[in-house]
Amino acid sequence: MDERLPACEDYDLWLRLTSQTTVALLDEFLLVRYGGHKDQLSFQYPAMDRFRIYSILKLLSSHLLNQAQRRLAEQKLFIKWEVLRQGRVKRNNWKEELDFLLDSVMIEGLDSYFGIQMQKFLLENQNWI
C-alpha cells in the first residue's frame, strides 16, 4: 500500500493488480457495504478524486501498462481531472497553471520536478481546505 495515500488505498491497489492480472467478478454478494457514516474517510478528506488521480498518474509513470491499458488509464485520468477542475472552478479556486502541470507530468512522469509538484498539489490537505 502507498503510505502517502490517506484514503483510496484500495483503488490504488486494485489499479495495480488489475493492470497485471485478470480479475473475475463473482455473481454473488460476499459482503455488505455500509456508507454515509461520519467516521468514513470520505467525510474527512475533500475531493477524494485527487487521490485517484494520483494513483492513475503513478500507474502511468510505472511503465507497466500496454498501449491499450495506457489509453484507458489516460481516459479515466482526464475524466477525473475534469471533475476535480469543475469543482474548483465552481469555488473560484482553479489556476490554469494546473492544466500545464498535468501536461508536463504526462510527458515527464510523476518522478520529475513537475510530478513532485503535482504530488504536493494532490496529496497535501492544505490545498483542499
The predicted structure's pLDDT at residue 128: 86
Residue 36 belongs to domain spanning: 9-22+29-128
Is the residue at 79 inside a domain?
A: yes
Is the residue at 120 inside a domain?
A: yes
Q: For residue 65, give every residue at least 6 positions away whose Cβ sits within 8 Å of its Cβ, in sequence order, or none.
A: 19, 59, 73
Is the residue at 3 inside a domain?
A: no
Q: For residue 19, give every residue at least 6 positions away whose Cβ sits within 8 Å of its Cβ, in sequence order, or none.
A: 59, 64, 65, 69
Is the residue at 67 inside a domain?
A: yes
Q: Say if residue 40's pLDDT is above 80.
A: no
Is the residue at 84 inside a domain?
A: yes
Q: How many domains does the chain have?
A: 1
Is the residue at 2 inside a domain?
A: no
Please, which pLDDT band fits residue 31 given cuts at 50, 70 and 90?
confident
Is the residue at 70 inside a domain?
A: yes
For the whole model, what pTM was predicted?
0.90
Is the residue at 111 inside a domain?
A: yes
